A and B are shown apart, each in its own frame.
Chain A
Amino acid sequence: MKKYHKYLPQAAAFLFLLTLGIIFVVPLLWTVLTSLKPEVEIQTLGYRFFPVQWTLENYVDVISNTTSAPIVRWFLNSVLISTTHTILALIVVSMSAYAYAKLEFKGKNTIFWILMTTMMFPTVINLIPLYNVMRVLRWVDNPLALIVPGLGGVFNIFLVRQFMLGIPKELSEAAKIDGANEWQIFTRIIVPLSRPVLTVVALFAFTGTWNDFLWPSIVMNSIDKMPLTPGLRLLQGVYDIERAHLMASAVVSILPTFVIYLLVQKHFLTGLSMSSGVKG
């Protein structure tokens, strides 16, 4: 009786997780299965979970489309935009966070406080004027419009600063005695020690840019310059009721994320708890 009582919570938890887990996996599984069906099969045979005849022709069609829905091109655009943004964000964020965490200067607390307060500001108000800034800079329909504006964000600086505050003073002081200047202390001591938090920033910056939907659909209008995320919406119009083609495109768009996730899953999970922990 005692033993039964001990395992009951775990068994109940398992059943609960299993049920929801199945619900979570079914859409992805069905998307993959549908993408492997010939288009006619969906139209004529009615509902089936598994394909009767397995085919890769939808993938061939979707990938070889280079005009109305150039999905490979979009994918490469996204890689370029997200990677450039991530590298620049790491530089800008770590420099700034270092100054707020470790250096003394006049106005430091005031500037930092102003930046923190603006985090509450609803960004929906910025959208229309930001488009105007892009027009003035002649960045409309230019990848720079997707790479640069996000670098002005504040949250990552806060996150990295909190981490850097935890690095013992003695380390940089010892380096100073050895004749290192601020830049050397920053690049050789602080940045290497901040690797865990910078990994998190890199992941946030990369996925944030990759998944951005509204802003790129406003500021980019040439089909061949689109990133993948807003591009997929155009695809809805191109393939319309060709469901297997739509599903194949969905799989093509999900697969890279899925692979990256399997590789660096741990960092994503620590990153999230890190970002909530500092507030809690």
Chain B
Amino acid sequence: MKNQIALAQTPNLSLKNPRAKKITFSKLVPYLFIAPHLILFIIFFAIPAITGIYISFTKWNLYSAPEWVGLKNYFEILVNQDSTFYHQLHNGLLNTIKYTCFSVPFFIAIPLLLAVALNTKTYGSKVFQSIFYMPTLLSISSVILTWIFMFHRNLGSINNILGINVNWFGQQPFTWIAIVIISLWWGIGGNMVIYLAALNGIDKALYESADIDGASAIHKFFHVTIPGIKHQLLYTLVLTTVAQFNIYGQPLMFSKGAPGESTRVLMMYIRELAFGSGESIAGLASAMAVILGLCIMAVSAIQFRLMRNKD
């Protein structure tokens, strides 16, 4: 409302000609529609994004004025092997990448198999679909509370039902396996629904002509099904990879970075350095965030290239 009044008073409106005024005001109307979002976008997205990059070149403790230090933060985390931050970045990034490489193939393959199975419209497929999708709506903290006791060495269901005695919290690769299992349980429903919708869109005639040619089920899967949902595969691959790169809650609540530092991911270091109990080194933490951000962008760009080139 305030805006409208201010805009109506702009000098280029000629009061002599009411028609001219009307035209000018109606030209401004669209801007009033986009203004609320644009203002919020600038304050809570654009400004933080730009300052985020800026402060990665500064020494800053969140409170005093940031002090420009050039590439010092980047030197510290990327080159200076004597620095603890160098080791934190390398360990954190390596663990993040390890988790991503290990989990993403399952995040694509399992939902795809589920979607194909559900698409046969077998007995109870609607119920199964609901079961597999439900966990995606839970928060990570509910998910961890549900799962953490399952992996207890003596009292947990997993060791007792399977008759094994695995130390899930204290021995690699078991801690990562546990975290991947939990993450899959939490997240595969989303991709499954996307693939299911995509499978519905494949022309049935393609399967029929493959049948006439005597194609096997496996042949049909690779030559009709996969090409038919190519776009959705690319879309989910990129989005899933980006999502897994941001892993934080699972290792934080499940293993607290243990055993050793082997499940400590980069987000955990960034958070501790910027908002931990000691003096904040937000500038250096920002440099780590920029590195993580660049990795995420690079990986999605490469995935896009690879998948597009296959066409």
Contact = CB atoms under 8 A, between A and B. Distances in A.
Contacts of B145: 31, 232, 235-236, 246-247, 249-250, 253
Interface stretch (B6-14, B71-79, B129-137, B168-176): B129-137
Contacts of A109: none
Contacts of B275: 131, 218
A113 interface: no
B43 A103 contact: no
A124 B141 contact: no
Given A16-B117, A47-B155, A269-B193, A92 B285 contact: no
Interface stretch (A19-27, A51-59, A165-173, A193-201): A19-27
Contacts of A272: 190, 193-194, 197
Contact of A132 (B62, B217, B232): B62
Interface in B103-155: 110, 113-114, 116-118, 120-125, 128-135, 137-142, 145-150, 154-155
Nearest to B181: A23
B307 interface: no
- Per DSSP, chain A at the interface is helix
A103 B35 CA distance: 14
B81 interface: no
Interface string B157-201: 100100000000000000000000000010000100110111000
A93 interface: yes
B53 interface: yes
Interface in B262-311: 267, 270-271, 274-275, 282, 285-286, 289-290, 292-294, 296-297, 300
Interface residues of A, number: 96
Given A20-B114, A124-B293, A128-B286, A96 B37 contact: yes
Interface in A67-123: 91-93, 95-96, 98-100, 103-105, 108, 111, 115, 118, 120-122
Contacts of A277: 197
B271 A214 contact: yes
A253 B130 CA distance: 19
Given A14-B122, A95-B37, A133-B48, A280 B290 contact: no
A258 B136 CA distance: 11
Contacts of B114: 17, 20
B249 interface: yes
A126 B56 CA distance: 11
Contacts of A124: 246, 267, 270, 289, 292-293, 296
Interface string A30-74: 110010000000100011010000000000000000000000000
A182 B62 contact: no
A76 B62 CA distance: 31
A276 B200 CA distance: 14
Nearest to B145: A250
B241 to A, nearest CB: 12
A149 B46 CA distance: 11
Given A118-B45, A247-B145, A213 B140 contact: yes
B52 to A, nearest CB: 4
Contacts of A189: none
Most A-side CB within 10 Å, residue of B34, B118, B138: B34
B133 A243 contact: no
A122 B286 contact: no
A214 B268 CA distance: 10
B146 A128 contact: no
11 contacts: A10-B121, A17-B118, A30-B149, A96-B38, A99-B34, A129-B49, A229-B139, A235-B145, A253-B141, A276-B235, A279-B235
Given A21-B128, A218-B271, 17 more contacts: A13-B120, A14-B123, A14-B124, A17-B114, A17-B122, A24-B185, A28-B146, A49-B157, A104-B30, A152-B41, A183-B29, A214-B267, A253-B141, A257-B138, A273-B193, A279-B235, A280-B232
Interface of B: 26-27, 29-31, 33-34, 36-38, 40-49, 51-53, 55, 62, 110, 113-114, 116-118, 120-125, 128-135, 137-142, 145-150, 154-157, 160, 185, 190, 193-194, 196-198, 217, 231-232, 235-236, 242, 246, 248-249, 252-253, 267, 270-271, 274-275, 282, 285-286, 289-290, 292-294, 296-297, 300
